[in-house]
């Protein structure tokens, strides 16, 4: 039997995040850092030129912007009703019931968790190259990657506002540099003048692998859900989260489309050929051609901070999913603890850091390439998992508002029509990704080609575990997707698509 002191110790364990610590501007910085503009421009857009959407890459980013903007309509409506660190996990639970909610939660949690080592591989690669080129130090990429992850844990141990300040400085510099280089290319007319024809949809028919083009486009946005993940720590989340989501989707879409168009103009008809040979040096060469050499040097350093900022943002995202599951007692309760002083989910941060280090070391021991394999194969899984969960969230929006009712101007568009379009659009993207995975990874790489199966098995495992809890441990089952907000949810939530009452206070 527990003693009084044991009960007091248990009761004193902190499980609350630091409410009101994050302001609107910090949310925008966090989600934009997760999208990593310079990382996308320096690495993924050139790969799409050569092996994805080809000359239609800029158009593909425009299309991805519109698809995600439509998805954001329903997502924002859920954010106005529900504030929770689990975001996709909580939204799906409230709309589609606990079993599907837990399946979605596990899928997105593991997808975000794997993004950290994937991006850290790029951080290690570019850091190792920078140390060799500028200082003559031969440091293995994996040492740099592991050191980066350890630094992420140390910083995230403290208040998340420190994270926002760090990301803000790095992000501001990299956005300015890329914008300057892209503008210089376009203003000077590139290799053969402006090329508005690249926005003709017929260009998709000539693309090397349009599914891969959309994969890289959606991968470039992975993490914009950050706006909702930090809802519990945000001042006025019901207003801040929806506004930050729209701003992030639109500004990133314009930025990526602009940078991709500049990349095409820079080399003109030779774009695909040059991208195939230059790959990660593509935009660095453009900087040398159309600006000054010191811009190239600045990009060499900023690409490192860009990779770090991106991995850092996802480290915090994944940690909050582990925290949310721990707080709900779906995973060990220790994951749901927060620091007594800083209110950071320090246990979850430590677990996420350990997972990232183990994955990095496993790839290093296997002799993997940090960019093409660690940084190329894992993103396929991450993107497939997140797009699949976004599809479920769109369905959840429809079912949730079917239950609680629709009111206000444009309610049918916001909570029925737009989410339905989002379901169809994301289903098409998933099909294209599945069809073109062998093209990206190689037809003989079985472990990569089975990625869609992994995603389904993880989601199914979550559903099965939820059903097990419902039968064997009903109290824990009732906590799945619980909302930790000040406001009670509407009484209409007592019915769901599965005929069960969803989680509430």
- The number of angstroms, rounded, from the C-alpha of 161 to the middle of its chain's C-alpha atoms is 19
Structure token digits, residue 75: 């997502």
Give the pLDDT confidence score for residue 185 in this predicted structure. 97
Give dist(CA 88, CA 102) in Å, integer. 10
Query: Are 75 and 87 within 8 A, CB to CB?
Result: no
Q: Which residues contact 379 (CB under 8 A, 6 or more apart)?
A: 115, 118, 219
Phi, psi of 22 (to 5 degrees): -115, 125
Give dist(CA 34, CA 167) in Å, integer. 9
Residue 167: pLDDT over 80: no
Q: Any idea which residue has 């290690």 for tokens?
A: 124
Give the pLDDT confidence score for residue 229 in this predicted structure. 63
Question: To which H or E segment does residue 391 belong?
Answer: helix 375-404
Give the pLDDT confidence score for residue 302 in this predicted structure. 87
Q: Quick one: average pLDDT of 101-126?
A: 93
Residue 186 burial (10 A CB sphere; 0-12, 13-18, 19+): middle
Q: Quick one: average pLDDT of 465-487?
A: 83
Give the pLDDT confidence score for residue 281 in this predicted structure. 85
| Domains identified in the chain and CATH numbers | 27-494 (1.20.1740.10)
Give the pLDDT confidence score for residue 486 in this predicted structure. 45
Q: Is residue 158 left, alpha or beta, with left meaning phi > 0 and alpha meaning psi from -120 to 50? A: beta
Q: If you average pLDDT over every residue of the chain, what do you get?
A: 84
What CA–CA distances, in Å, run from 75 to 59, 244, 256, 304, 402?
A: 24, 12, 22, 32, 15
385-439 pLDDT, tens digit each: 999 999 999 999 999 999 988 887 888 999 999 999 999 999 998 998 888 888 7
Residue 142: pLDDT over 70: yes
**pTM for the full predicted model:** 0.82
285-315 pLDDT, tens digit each: 999 999 998 898 888 888 888 888 888 888 9
Structure token digits, residue 257: 């489309």
Alpha helices by DSSP H, 97-159: 98-130, 141-156
pLDDT band of 158, cuts 50, 70, 90 = confident
What CA–CA distances, in Å, run from 23 to 30, 172, 275, 303, 305?
A: 11, 17, 40, 26, 23
Query: Are 248 and 221 within 8 A, CB to CB?
Result: no
Query: Are 22 and 234 within 8 A, CB to CB?
Result: yes
Q: Which residues contact 1 (CB under 8 A, 6 or more apart)?
A: none
């Amino acid at each position: 039997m527990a003693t009084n002191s044991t009960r007091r110790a248990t009761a004193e364990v902190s499980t609350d995040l630091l409410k009101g610590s994050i302001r609107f501007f910090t949310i925008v910085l966090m989600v934009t850092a997760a999208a990593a503009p310079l990382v996308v421009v320096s690495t993924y857009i050139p790969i799409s030129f050569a092996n994805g959407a080809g000359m239609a890459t800029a158009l593909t980013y425009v299309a991805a912007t519109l698809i995600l903007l439509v998805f954001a309509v329903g997502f924002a409506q859920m954010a106005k009703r529900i504030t929770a660190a689990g975001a996709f996990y909580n939204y799906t639970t409230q709309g589609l019931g606990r079993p599907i909610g837990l399946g979605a939660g596990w899928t997105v949690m593991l997808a975000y968790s794997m993004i950290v080592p994937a991006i850290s591989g790029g951080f290690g690669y570019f850091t190792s190259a920078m140390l060799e080129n500028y200082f003559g130090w031969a440091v293995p990429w994996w040492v740099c990657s592991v050191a980066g992850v350890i630094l992420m844990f140390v910083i995230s141990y403290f208040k998340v506002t420190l994270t926002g300040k760090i990301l803000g400085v790095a992000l501001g510099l990299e956005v300015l540099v890329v914008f300057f280089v892209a503008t210089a290319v376009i203003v000077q007319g590139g290799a053969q003048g402006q090329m508005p024809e690249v926005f003709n949809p017929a260009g998709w028919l000539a693309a090397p692998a349009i599914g891969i083009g959309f994969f890289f486009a959606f991968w470039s946005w992975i993490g914009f859900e950050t706006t909702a993940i930090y809802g519990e720590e945000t001042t006025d989340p019901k207003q801040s989260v929806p506004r930050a989501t729209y701003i992030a989707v639109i500004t990133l879409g314009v930025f990526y489309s602009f940078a991709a168009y500049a990349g095409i103009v820079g080399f003109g008809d030779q774009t695909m050929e040059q991208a195939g040979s230059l790959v990660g040096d593509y935009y660095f060469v453009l900087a040398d051609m159309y600006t000054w050499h010191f811009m190239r040097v600045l990009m060499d350093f900023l690409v490192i901070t860009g990779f770090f900022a991106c991995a850092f943002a996802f480290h915090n995202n994944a940690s909050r999913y582990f925290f949310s599951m721990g707080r709900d007692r779906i995973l060990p309760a220790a994951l749901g603890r927060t620091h007594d002083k800083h209110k950071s989910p320090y246990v979850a941060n430590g677990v996420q850091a350990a997972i990232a280090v183990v994955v990095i070391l496993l790839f290093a021991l296997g002799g993997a390439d940090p960019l093409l394999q660690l940084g190329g194969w894992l993103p396929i899984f991450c993107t497939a998992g997140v797009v699949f969960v976004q599809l479920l969230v769109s369905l959840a929006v429809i079912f949730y508002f079917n239950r609680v009712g629709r009111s206000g101007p444009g309610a049918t568009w916001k909570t029925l029509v737009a989410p339905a379009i989002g379901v169809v659009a994301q289903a098409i993207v998933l099909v294209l990704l599945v069809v073109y995975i062998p093209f990206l990874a190689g037809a003989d790489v079985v472990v990569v080609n089975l990625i869609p199966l992994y995603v389904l098995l993880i989601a199914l495992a979550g559903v099965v575990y939820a059903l097990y809890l419902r039968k064997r441990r009903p109290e824990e089952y009732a906590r799945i997707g619980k909302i930790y907000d000040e406001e009670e949810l509407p009484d209409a939530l007592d019915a769901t698509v599965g005929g069960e009452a969803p989680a509430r206070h």
